[in-house]
Each structure stands twice: as structure tokens, then as C-alpha cells.
Amino acid sequence: MVALPGGAMQARAQSRPTAPSARVPYGVAVALEPFRNDPELKRRLISDVDLIVPMNALKWASLRHTEGQFDFSGADELVAFAHQHGKLLHGHALLWYAFNPKWIDAVQSPRRLERELRTHIETVVSRYKGTIPTWDVVNEAIAHDPLSQGKWRRGVWYDVLGPRHVDIAFQAAAAADPAAKLFINDYDLEDDSLRTTARQKAMLSIVRRLQDRNIPIHGVGFQAHLYAERGIGVEGLQSFVRTLERMGLEVAVTELDVIDWKLSADPVVRDRAVARTAEAFLDALYGAVTPRSLTTWGLNDRYSWIGDTFPRRDSAKARPLPFDQNWQPKQLWSVIRRFRGSVG
């Protein structure tokens, strides 16, 4: 047995392995360049995936790179593929502090910024009304460390509009498609640190703010960019998601992958630890609630963001996803299939 971080082993011991009683849609976030250039990716999306998430094609910098214009070409390409092959779709993301065009980050007038935000969301959601049934309306609204930085993530939206930027975004999305399920999405909601506990409390306060104002919100997305060296805070995670459930909200796993930058270079050791880290998280989550969907942030290690953002000290390539760079399935793929509820 490969030695795991103590917290991960503790999480496994405290949480009974769980599998869904019904199929949970398995999703993959898809970037345009590999989608266009890797035939095997398309084949795998058709054969092995239930849900497609445009990774960047629906973000502001992709849709609004020219002021006053919308460019839906990339998003439409992925949406058409999903429709052609009978796949579900999830929209990501209508508001994020990052990946904005320079012109929007330069806006300092609250009136103009609110107008641009409403116009953007109403245009995008209306275009895909009836086609994209769920949206990450607001992505990463919480500060990285609320203990030292306060609750809110800084950026043009908060700096100019304050907390009501979240209200505006959800109001606009609900007006554009009253039938859509609207999510707030964030990271680091699952480990056992004081910082994560503060992030969970911040999320609950934002959700309550929306509900107190009768602004529609239907769920919370767990990005689940997991760290292989961290433990899962089973008790805190389960208490958090049960509170969300009592508030009438769904839960979705939206961006799952495992950051392996501090593990041995040995791929056998890493693949086993990556799978066990994901399994510990999913065991804990499914032990409290069955998520609406289970999505990984990519399918093949070749196209992952992890290696660039979390560089290793050696020359080994990151291995955070279900398939390696040669399209060989890893142990994480078996974990995904179990929690998806699939035997095929």
C-alpha cells in the first residue's frame, strides 16, 4: 500500500465508501484547441461522457474580446457538438473576477458596469435558453483566505459594484431563463483547514443573502481542485453540504482534478494517490448528498492546467486527470465510473 497523507487516510476510515443509487451525469470541461485538434478527445467525449462544459468559450474574454460585440463562434461549436451527440450542457461562467477583456476591467462607473453585466448575462443566457439548462452564474466570489482578506474576492466586479454584483448576476440570469438552474461555484470547500471552514461560512452567508432578497439560486458548485497532500475534512464537508440541502440547494462537482505537485515522480505511486484522494472526497460528499453531476476539469493529462500553475521541482509531468497523455485510463477513471454509477 502506498503511504498517503494522514488526513486522507483518516477521511477514508471515517467515511463509508458510497456509490450513487442512480446514474450521476459525468461531465468534462472542454477547451477548444484540443477539441478541434485531437480526434481521440472527440471520440472519448462521444463514448464516455454525459455532459460537456465549455472550459473557456463562454467566459468574458472569449465572448467579449471586442468592446460592443459578442463572438459566439467557439461556444456555438461546442454546443452544436453536444447537441449532435445527445450530451447535456453546463454553462461556465457568467461572472468571474479573472479572464476578463481589458476594456471591462477598465470600467470605473458603477452605472455602466452594471449595464454591461446585465446586457452580457441576458444576451448569453437568452441565446442558449432551453439548450444550456444549468449555469455557473458567479465563479469564485469568495476571497482566497477570508481569515486575512475579508469575505469577498477583489476584482472589477466587487471593487466597482460591491457585494451586489452577485445579486445583479443572478437576477439577470433568472430573468433571461426562468427555467435554468443557477449555481455559485468556488474552490477549497472540502479540506480540514481553518481557512476552508471560513470559506464555507462565507459561501453560506452569500447564499443566505440571495435567498433573503428572494433572488433565485439553485445550487453550489464544488470545483474540487484537490491537493493530494491534504486531508478531506469529512465532518465539516458533510455538515456544510447538509446545511446547503436544508436551504433547498443542490450540489454539483464542477471541476474535479488532483494536484500532484508534491508527490513522488513515480507514476504508479502518483496515480494511486491521486485516485485515493478523489475517492476520499467523493466518499465524504456522497455520504451526505448525491450531487447533481460529477465533472472533471479535462479528461487527458496533456491538456490540464495543473502542470503550469503548480510546477513540480522535477521534470515529471502532472497526472491529475482520468487518462494519461497517451489516452491510457488510470485508477482515477475507475473511481469516476464508480461514483458516476456506471458499470459500462
Pairing assessment for the beta strands 294-296 and 250-259 based on DSSP bridges: parallel
Q: Is 255 an active-site residue?
A: yes
Cα–Cα dist 255/326, whole Å:
22
Given a contact cutoff of 8 angstroms between Cβ atoms, the answer to whether 19 and 287 are in contact is no
Place of cell 497532500: 229
Given a contact cutoff of 8 angstroms between Cβ atoms, the answer to whether 166 and 96 are in contact is no
Cα–Cα dist 27/51, whole Å:
4
Given a contact cutoff of 8 angstroms between Cβ atoms, the answer to whether 259 and 226 are in contact is yes
Q: Would you list the DSSP string of 106-161?
A: T---HHHHHHHHHHHHHHHHHHTTTT--EEEEEE--B-S-HHHH-SBPPSHHHHHH
- Cβ-proximal residues to 176 (8 Å cutoff; 6+ apart), any chain: 121, 122, 124, 125, 126, 129
Given a contact cutoff of 8 angstroms between Cβ atoms, the answer to whether 228 and 262 are in contact is yes
Q: Is 140 an active-site residue?
A: yes
Query: Annotated catalytic residue: which of 114, 140, 250, 279?
Result: 140
First CA to last CA distance, the chain: 27
Cα–Cα dist 257/28, whole Å:
11
Cα–Cα dist 58/91, whole Å:
7
Query: Annotated catalytic residue: which of 114, 250, 255, 279?
Result: 255
Given a contact cutoff of 8 angstroms between Cβ atoms, the answer to whether 162 and 151 are in contact is no
**Residues carrying an active site annotation:** 140, 255
